[in-house]
Amino acid sequence: MSKIDITVDGVKFSVPENINLVEALSHQGIQVPTLCWYQGMDECLGTCRVCTVKVGGRHSAACTMKTQKDMTIEFDTDELKDLRRGVIELLFVEGNHYCPSCEKSGDCLLQAQAQDMEMTHSRFPYEFNNYDLDFSGKNILLERNRCVHCKRCTELFSDDEGHKVFSFIGKGAETRVVFDHEREKKLSPHKAKEAMDLCPVGAILVKGQGFSKPYGERKYEKEPLWEKK
Ligand code: SF4
Ligand code: FES
């Protein structure tokens, strides 16, 4: 793979050409925050904008960009840090997130990003939207108050036969994640757990398993995002 030069905050780096920008920066020790994207992911969903940087002076979602020769990137500026934190704050007020009692606490990427950004509160008013929960599944419980509409479950998850299980209904503020009841019923325990782990927040839970992993052993407790910096 040929190498090219890119500039990040005025510093030149030599990186492989045409690879995911977040991945390329991560290899240089620059951790761009993400929520819908994760390392090794082939397709970019580009739904959350938590990874916003400036490329050539324009705001861009870094996870949707590939490295190109002579790219000029701004990342660690006060403006961009504030903007990325603002996106996280908006997600907190748009949903109903109660971290201390959430089954996914410690394993939640939204919570980990907020902690990493030292967010203590949101500058935006809380909306207290009324989202209904779906307890009707055999294996899975949908806690829609926590859904950040990242599309990981709808785009990246399929059952053992390759069928999609999750989809969205409604439009705009009325958009809700739902599952196909017949296919959900047939999910193996392994597949149900895969869906729970794929969700970056605590919106998809395996019934009876929410608290099975002890506190202290959860992903972002063992490997805090800020320790990667
Ligand atoms: S349920 Fe989870 S994975 Fe699916 S869209 Fe909502 S936050 Fe994303
Ligand atoms: S991580 Fe890039 S848009 Fe979500």
What tens digit of pLDDT does each residue of 138-186 get? 999 999 999 999 999 999 999 999 999 999 999 988 899 999 999 999 9
Strands annotated E in 38-85: 52-55, 58-61, 72-74
148 lines ligand 2 (CB under 6 A): no
Q: Long-range contacts made by residues 211-214, C-beta under 8 angstroms, separation at least 24?
A: 211/103, 213/107
- Residue 180: CB atoms within 10 Å: 15
Q: Whose CA is nearest to atom 1 of ligand 2?
A: 34
Contacting residues for 227 by C-beta, under 8 A, at least 6 apart = none
Separation of alpha carbons 184 and 112, rounded Å: 29
Closest to 131 (Cα-Cα) out of 109, 153, 157, 149: 149
Matching CATH topology for 3-76 and 98-228? no
C-alpha 136 – ligand 2 centre gap (Å): 31
Architecture of domain 98-228: 2-Layer Sandwich (3.30)
| Residue 153 Cα to ligand 1 middle (Å) | 6
How far does residue 47's CA lie from ligand 2's centre (Å)?
6
Nearest CA to ligand 1 atom 2: 199
Does the C-beta of 36 come closer than 6 Å to ligand 2? Answer: yes
Nearest atom in ligand 1 to 198's CA:
3
Diameter over CA atoms, the chain:
54
Q: Please tell me the distance between residue 32's alpha carbon and the centre of ligand 2 in angstroms.
A: 10
Q: Does 164 sit in the ligand 1 pocket, CB within 6 Å?
A: no
Percent of the chain with pLDDT over 70: 98
Query: Ligand 1 centroid to 157 CA: how many Å?
Result: 11
pLDDT value at position 224?
A: 82
Please tell me whether the overall predicted TM-score, pTM, comes out greater than 0.85 for this model: yes
Please state the rounded mean pLDDT for residues 93-112. Answer: 95
Looking at residue 119, what is its pLDDT?
Answer: 95
Topology (CATH) of 3-76: Ubiquitin-like (UB roll) (3.10.20)
Beta-bridge mates of residue 13: 6
Question: Rounded to an integer, what distance in angstroms lies between the CA atom of residue 180 and that of residue 222?
Answer: 34
For the CA of 204, the nearest atom of ligand 1:
1
Provide the residue ranges of all domains of the chain, joining segments of one domain with +.
Answer: 3-76, 98-228
Answer positive or negative: Cα dihedral of 151, 97, 134, 210. Answer: positive
Locate the ligand 1 atom nearest the alpha carbon of residue 168 and give its number.
Answer: 5
- Is the model's pLDDT at 229 over the cut of 70? no
In contact, 127 and 121? CB cutoff 8 Å: no
Question: How many angstroms separate the alpha carbon of residue 152 from the centre of ligand 1?
Answer: 6
d(CA 154, CA 152): 6
